[in-house]
Chains A and B, each alone.
Chain A
Amino acid sequence: MQQFNLSNYEFGFHDKIKPVFSTKKGLSEDVVNEISAMKKEPEWMRQIRIRALALFYAKKLPMWGGDLTKFNFDDIFYYVKPMDKQGRTWDEVPAEIKNTFDKIGIPEAEKKFLAGVGAQYDSEVVYHSISKMLEKKGVIFTDTDTAVQKYPELVKQYFSTIIPAADNKFAALNTAVWSGGSFIYVPKGVHVELPLQAYFRINAKNMGQFERTLIIADEGSYVHYVEGCTAPIFTTDSLHSAVVEILVKKGARVRYTTIQNWSKNVYNLVTKRMFVEEEGFGEWVDANLGSQLTMKYPSVYLKGRKARGEILSLAFAGAGQHQDAGGKAIHLAPETSSVITSKSISKDGGRTSYRGLLKVIKGAENSKSTVRCDALILDSKSRSDTYPTMDISEERVTIGHEASVSKIGEDQLFYFQSRGISQAQAEVMIVNGFVEPIVRELPMEYAVELNRLIQLEMTGAVG
């Protein structure tokens, strides 16, 4: 396997790309109308955007979580389109953009085992391919902009039904100015054996990225979607505020994997939610390494009998970073079960917070939930918090929550050192072992990349 060299890859590379079109900085009804007009959208979508904009102005910023006071909504480009046409094949993608993807390793990933690649460069999906096999099965895998044009009925039926614009300020913002993201529809009984993948990155200075992803897994189907991000360093603040809506119908299974590695000036404020119907199974695997501030709590709403949800969350906070991550499981039907596992590491003054919600409504009898949060603090400058909420209104349940915070054990280090392994190496091995329960759930290439990123963060070099 050819591996891209991570030591040359300190998140800072930055191509000179001339956007074909971008809106003025800042947000207004004109900007929203302009975005809608540029995309030649139908009137109903424009109206959804305008209604959401009003909600965005009406909603307050969250008073909990990370520090958003320094953030200026007027200092952001809300829409940037990098080129006119969508590339159908890899050859049609401009060389400079390809160059960026090469550094991230996209073509490698595609060659290996991925069925389709939707790579988001700036706000628009520039390259998208679907294997013939998927098309034959009736699977729709496209960017959300195209879906609005080609599958308006499907989009109309599900868009904003899982996460309404009124859910929170950032969901409203995304609904008003969204651009790009993936749209996936898996028909009844179809199993997509290969993970579908999309790679996102922010590249124009001060550019907001507001992708909108909608996944519908019809009865008895299965799909695994993988999303990963890296971004170059800029001196001014960038905003990434995505919305991901997933509907898992009866007996279906969806796994959504994210590796987030935004550069350390990005505000990453994302709303992710799954509705899981009877006997369905929804899984989030969520790894947060980059960004200045991440506030992200993927949630599963278990709506049908025997629905299952699982959330695996990994957070790494280095100097100047705050990872406020976690998960939510809402039990709305009998015999539902959920598992939340969170692992966080803070280093060099970084701060990690686990924030979670576990809710069981009256009538969701015989539900089960297990929450486990572990945190490692690597030095005395760093900080770690745990804020889990358990709200139980049904007595016939089994609910357990456990959390621990610790440093790397002296006895563990001593064991390694007594076998001739240096302290630095031992620390890397211990941290890798600590995150292993989550890393092993990732597709192989991502697991390799993640282990290398952790090594890079720990020691500043790979090897």
Chain B
Amino acid sequence: MKNIEVVVKKNEEKLMPFVWTNGSEKEVFIDAHLVGEGARLQIVGIFLGTDNSSIIFNTNVVHEAPNTKSVTTLRGVFRNNAAFTNDGMVRINKGAKGADGFFRSKILLFDNAKGRSVPSLEIDENDLKAGHASTVGRPDENQLFYLRSRGLTEKEAEQLIVTGFFEPIIRLLPVIDQKDIRKKIERNL
């Protein structure tokens, strides 16, 4: 198990990227604390699991100071009995006025893949904004149909959709890394 501790101090801004493509890590826990006023944290997780691989990816983001902001964005594609398990906690402590915490995850499942997700909120302050949004499912049938009708095979169509699915989240990362990540995903598709 890999434990990653993150502390974000006053007016600091941190980006925590995490890219996993059938990696050796089986369990990852990110424990993040926004301890100084105006601290900002962005967690970005990209997951591509195939052939019985699995990952447990848990995040705990705690807002301890006023005007702190966190965004956790996860996107994953899992196929061939791969499994994804995720606990995503956003906690806003008393006194963290003006805090803004958001968690979002989008998971695509193919061929007997499984997903388990618990996006949680614990809020002890009333001057705040917090939320989460999670979806699990297959690619849109209409998108697949559209691509098939343009002469693509089912495999090609799915690949194109998966590439497109990751694109918005890749763009959250530094430009310098984007090319490598795209390559890594293509290799694993």
A contact residues vs B (CB 8 Å cutoff): 362, 375, 377-380, 382-407
30 A-B residue pairs with CB within 8 Å: A377-B123, A377-B126, A380-B127, A383-B123, A384-B123, A385-B121, A385-B122, A387-B118, A390-B116, A390-B117, A390-B118, A390-B136, A392-B114, A392-B117, A392-B136, A393-B114, A394-B109, A397-B109, A399-B135, A399-B137, A400-B133, A400-B134, A400-B135, A401-B119, A401-B133, A402-B133, A403-B133, A405-B121, A406-B128, A406-B129
B120 touching A395, Cβ below 8 Å: no
Chain B residues near A377: list those with CB within 8 A: 123, 125-126, 128
Q: A380-B94, A385-B120 are in contact. List 6 more A-B contacts (CB 8 A).
A: A375-B123, A378-B126, A389-B118, A395-B113, A402-B131, A406-B129
Least CB separation from B85: chain A residue = A391
B132-177 interface (Cβ within 8 A of A): 132-138
Asked if B27 lies at the interface with its beta carbon under 8 angstroms from chain A, I say: no
Chain B residues near A403: list those with CB within 8 A: 119, 121, 131-133
Report if A388-B123 is in contact (Cβ < 8 Å); known contacts: A402-B131, A402-B133.
no
B contact residues vs A (CB 8 Å cutoff): 94, 109-138
Q: How far is the CB of B18 from chain A (nearest CB, A)?
A: 20
Please tell me which one of the listed residues B94, B115, B121, B128 contacts residue A390 in the complex, with CB atoms under 8 A apart.
B115
Please tell me which one of the listed residues B120, B125, B135 contacts residue A386 in the complex, with CB atoms under 8 A apart.
B120
Chain B residues near A401: list those with CB within 8 A: 117, 119, 132-135
A397 touching B136, Cβ below 8 Å: yes
Chain B residues near A391: list those with CB within 8 A: 116
Least CB separation from A362: chain B residue = B112
Chain A residues near B125: list those with CB within 8 A: 377, 380
Chain A residues near B114: list those with CB within 8 A: 392-393
Please tell me which one of the listed residues A379, A388, A397 contacts residue B119 in the complex, with CB atoms under 8 A apart.
A388
Q: How far is the CB of A409 from chain B (nearest CB, A)?
A: 10
Q: Bound complex: CA of A290 vs CA of B128, how far in Å? A: 26
Please tell me which one of the listed residues B111, B117, B122, B132 contacts residue A395 in the complex, with CB atoms under 8 A apart.
B111
Least CB separation from B135: chain A residue = A400
Least CB separation from B116: chain A residue = A391
Report the 9 A-B pairs with minimum CB-CB distance, sorted nearest first.
A395-B109, A404-B131, A377-B126, A386-B121, A399-B136, A405-B130, A398-B137, A401-B134, A390-B117
B126 touching A396, Cβ below 8 Å: no
Chain A residues near B124: list those with CB within 8 A: 383
Chain A residues near B112: list those with CB within 8 A: 362, 395
Chain B residues near A405: list those with CB within 8 A: 121, 123, 128-131
Q: Bound complex: CA of A378 vs CA of B126, how far in Å? A: 6
Q: How far is the CB of B50 from chain A (nearest CB, A)?
A: 13
Chain A residues near B136: list those with CB within 8 A: 390, 392, 397, 399
A388 touching B126, Cβ below 8 Å: no
Q: Bound complex: CA of A281 vs CA of B111, how far in Å? A: 30
Q: Bound complex: CA of A249 vs CA of B115, how far in Å? A: 31
Chain B residues near A392: list those with CB within 8 A: 109, 114-117, 136
Chain A residues near B131: list those with CB within 8 A: 402-405
Q: Bound complex: CA of A393 vs CA of B81, how far in Å? A: 10
A387 touching B120, Cβ below 8 Å: yes
Please tell me which one of the listed residues A390, A395, A402, A407 contacts residue B126 in the complex, with CB atoms under 8 A apart.
A407
Report if A386-B126 is in contact (Cβ < 8 Å); known contacts: A395-B138, A397-B138, A403-B121.
no
Q: How far is the CB of B122 from chain A (nearest CB, A)?
A: 5
Chain B residues near A380: list those with CB within 8 A: 94, 125-127
Q: How far is the CB of B88 from chain A (nearest CB, A)?
A: 10
B137 touching A386, Cβ below 8 Å: no
Q: Bound complex: CA of A434 vs CA of B25, how far in Å? A: 44
Q: Bound complex: CA of A156 vs CA of B37, how far in Å? A: 63
Least CB separation from B121: chain A residue = A386
Chain A residues near B123: list those with CB within 8 A: 375, 377, 383-385, 405
Q: Bound complex: CA of A399 vs CA of B116, how far in Å? A: 12
Q: Give the one of B111, B112, B121, B130 with max A CB within 10 A.
A: B121
